[in-house]
Amino acid sequence: MSVLPILIFPDTRLKEKSAPVSEFTPEVAALIADLQDTMHASAGGVGISAPQVGFPKRIIVVDVSAHRRGSQEHNHGFLVLINPEILARGGRQIVREGCMSIPDYTANIERAQWVLVDALDRTGKQVILESIGFEAVAIQHEMDHLDGILFLDRVISIKTDIFRRKKYR
């Protein structure tokens, strides 16, 4: 399909709450394909949400399998999650996060170590999946975008937990 331009902070559209997907139209299928292409074309990208490319719909794609942190643990490969909800979460970890919409910074963020997610797949079929580690972090990060939350909103200490990115890879 095509690689879409990514909205960059402080674009106000990144702070909007996204609407649920109610119909699985050819346009939704095309958007999912574009999200996949956009994520794979972005250096280091392991996930992207529809709001990051200007479509305020509750759709995320995640694939940590090619990333060094994701390849070292169990993951589900390429995921399309539509209208995702976290049913349960557990554990606690501090992780360094970055974002394609905030390319110049990373930050230490507290996230759950595992999540249980209820969502629809690209065909509208319900999926319930348990995710751990880096994949769970990526899912939580992308789900935040659906509610207009950026990783900077989750920083505990601006003085000690935000870092200028040396290079984006």
Distance CA 119, CA 127 (A): 5
Buried b (16+ CB within 10 A) or exposed e, 85-113: ebeebeeeeebebbbbbbbebbbbbebbe
Whether the CB-CB separation of 79 and 62 falls below 8 Å is answered with yes
Q: Which amino acid is at 129?
A: L
Spatial CB neighbours of 13, under 8 Å, sequence gap ≥ 6: 7, 51, 54, 56
Strand order in the sheet with 47-49: 47-49, 59-62, 79-90, 114-120, 126-132
Q: How many residues does the chain have?
A: 169
What residues contact 159, with CB distance under 8 A and at least 6 apart?
none
Q: Which residues does the annotation mark as catalytic?
A: 142
